[in-house]
Amino acid sequence: MNANERDILLDVKNLHTHFISGHGKTKVTVKAVNGVSFQVKNGETFGLVGESGCGKTTLGRTIIRLYNPSSGEVTFGGRIISGKKDAELQKFLTSNIAMVFQDPIASLNPRMTVQEIIAEGLKIKGIKDEATVRNMVGEALYRVGLLPEHATRYPHEFSGGQRQRIGIARALIVEPTMVIADEPISALDVSIQAQVINVLNDLKRDMGLTILFIAHDLSVVKYFSDTIGVMYKGRMVEMGDADKVYHNPLHPYTKSLISSIPLPNPHGERRRVRVSYDPSAYNIDDERLEMRHVEEGHSILCTPDEYEKYVLMANRG
């Protein structure tokens, strides 16, 4: 990509996260993230999609260092964050990257008030003056569409959508440069999903946040993101501008993913042709596989032989 070096906020290079279980003969290595490279520009929303178990959550958690990478390099704002995790790096991470989790019930401590939950990040950051903290919490609540008086309540008093907004307020209070949103809307009802998406959209616009948005619902990702990356079995199979990936998918897996989204259009649904993906026809462990550029802002994981076919397809579309 010919983006300006300075524009790039997060740069992931050939990242691997492997989980090892057992010893000796029973040793099993799960390659959850298996060589993923991508870049996220400042102020951009990067949507990461894929089925469950494809490694998208692991990737997000490796970036924020909840997991340690097996190999590869992650640079954030010019600083390598995949190295040894010491107290200083930890501090750098917590004050620059925040995370919103999937399940708003499980991710909020039921015995803490909203005030305590949201202010926890500030405490770690060293802001302890009570009045300041209260003001900041009130402001954060206001930003996500809640009221400052909600601060004294407990999580169980809120509905699902409100809880998720508390989760977002908690992420925002440290004024991070980037937010990793790990399926923030999957556990919510359709009407409530729209509330949360709108809150995230407003924040993105007002605060210039960079968001790594992880989800399995492609239609929401398409609506929300500037760039989409499609993951399959621990690898990035297709990546590019949201419109290009959505309207002109090249990789057979992306095609099947897009063709299986149910759309609220009854006649359209009836005449729609579903593409199914046959994993046995493509060897995902092929050593010649490499992310290749097929057109401006659109790249795909392929072997050199397939490459020409894809370039033709891209230009035709």
Partner 1 sequence: MSKNNPILQVKDLTVSFNAFAGKVQAVRGVSFDLNKGETLCIVGESGSGKSVTNKAIMGILSKNAVIDRGEILYDGMDLTKLTEEQFCQIRGKRIAMVFQDPLSALNPIMKVGKQITETLCVHQKLSHEQAKKRALELMAAVGIPEPEKRFDQYPFQFSGGMRQRIVIVIALACNPEILICDEPTTALDVTIQSKILDLIKEIKQERNLSVIFITHNMGVVANMADRICVMYAGKIVEFGTCDDIFYHPAHPYTWALLSAMPDSESRERLFSIPGAPPNMLMPPKGDAFAPRNHYALDIDFKEEPPFFKLSDTHYAATWLLHPYAPRVEMPEELKRRIDRMVEEDMEYECK
Applying CB under 8 A, which residues contact partner 1?
Answer: 51-52, 159-162, 189-195, 197-198, 201, 216-220, 222-223, 246-247, 256-257, 259-269, 271, 274, 276-277
Q: Is the CB of 91 or the CB of 247 nearer to partner 1?
A: 247
Q: Is the CB of 192 or the CB of 250 nearer to partner 1?
A: 192
Q: How far is the CB of 261 from partner 1 (least distance, A)?
A: 6
Q: Is the CB of 7 or the CB of 202 nearer to partner 1?
A: 202
Output DSSP code: residue 49. Answer: E
Between the alpha carbon of residue 271 and those of residues 266, 267, 317, the distances in Å are 9, 7, 21
Q: How far is the CB of 236 from partner 1 (least distance, A)?
A: 17
Q: How far is the CB of 89 from partner 1 (least distance, A)?
A: 35
The answer to whether 196 touches 146, Cβ cutoff 8 Å, is no
Q: How far is the CB of 289 from partner 1 (least distance, A)?
A: 21
Listed residue (235, 301, 233, 228) closest to 258, CA to CA: 228
Q: Is the CB of 26 or the CB of 52 nearer to partner 1?
A: 52
What CA–CA distance (Å, rounded) separates 33 from 53? Answer: 10
Q: Is the CB of 24 or the CB of 268 nearer to partner 1?
A: 268
Q: How far is the CB of 271 from partner 1 (least distance, A)?
A: 6
**3-class SS string, 177-240:** CEEEEECCCCCCCHHHHHHHHHHHHHHHHHHCCEEEEEECCHHHHHHHCCEEEEEECCEEEEEE
